[in-house]
Amino acid sequence: MKIVSTKDNLQILHEDNHIIVVNKRVGDIVQGDKTGDKPLSEIVKEYIKEKYHKPGEVFLGVVHRLDRPTTGIIVFARTSKALTRLNELFSNRETQKTYWAVVKNKPPKTEDNLVHFLKRNEKNNTSKAHLKEVSESKKASLDYKIISALNNYFALEINLHTGRHHQIRAQLSAIGCPIKGDLKYGFDRSNPDGGIHLHARKLVFIHPVTKETLEIIAPTPNEVIWNAL
């Protein structure tokens, strides 16, 4: 059964006066979009308002996003000062992002660096991975390694070097390893909850105010294949 995030069941991974870090569920949208569904940013605002009895509008800055069908770590800023500094950290890639993915088919190598040139198609909201540069493409790079073999699937740990649209989904699909449940990128059937087996597992960054190094790890969803990991 699919659980939807509300102010009462948020999975908070870290919280202080400056930032709040949440474990996003399948189907949560980080920021409002054309669907009109309530975004995670609004749910977190409701949580803060209620917990701290805040009158008036609650400030919350969106720093980065995850695709709707994915799960894992999302950082929000609770002050404008934290937002400015976090935006710099993320845009300068001064963060270490580690993802877990479950794919069908064994990758060609146990571990590898993948470099592609991704071209985005706005019409169908996908990105296509090319081996050589094409017009309007952007270079995309990641490292992967196999961390587990599960029945018919393989679990990969992925470290991103660039942050392109649908990067992990497109690059893994390009080597014949679509992510479980990802119909858009070549998997043959959807997951029951409509999600895909891609999880933002770990994030290491410097706290925007205290300057301490934070390492945040998000538990995987409570689901058969994730649990097998």
Chain centroid, CA 146 distance in Å: 19
Contact assessment for residue 129 and residue 176, using Cβ atoms and an 8 Å cutoff? no
67 catalytic per annotation? yes
Contact assessment for residue 78 and residue 48, using Cβ atoms and an 8 Å cutoff? yes
Determine the Cα–Cα distance for residues 59 and 48; give it in Å rounded to an integer: 9
Choosing from 8, 16, 67, 188, the catalytic residue is 67
Sequence-distant (6+) residues with CB within 8 A of 174 are 114, 116, 129
Determine the Cα–Cα distance for residues 200 and 96; give it in Å rounded to an integer: 11
In the chain, where does DSSP find H-type helix? 40-51, 80-91, 167-174, 224-228
Determine the Cα–Cα distance for residues 6 and 147; give it in Å rounded to an integer: 33
Determine the Cα–Cα distance for residues 52 and 79; give it in Å rounded to an integer: 15
Contact assessment for residue 205 and residue 214, using Cβ atoms and an 8 Å cutoff? yes
Supply the residues annotated as catalytic: 67
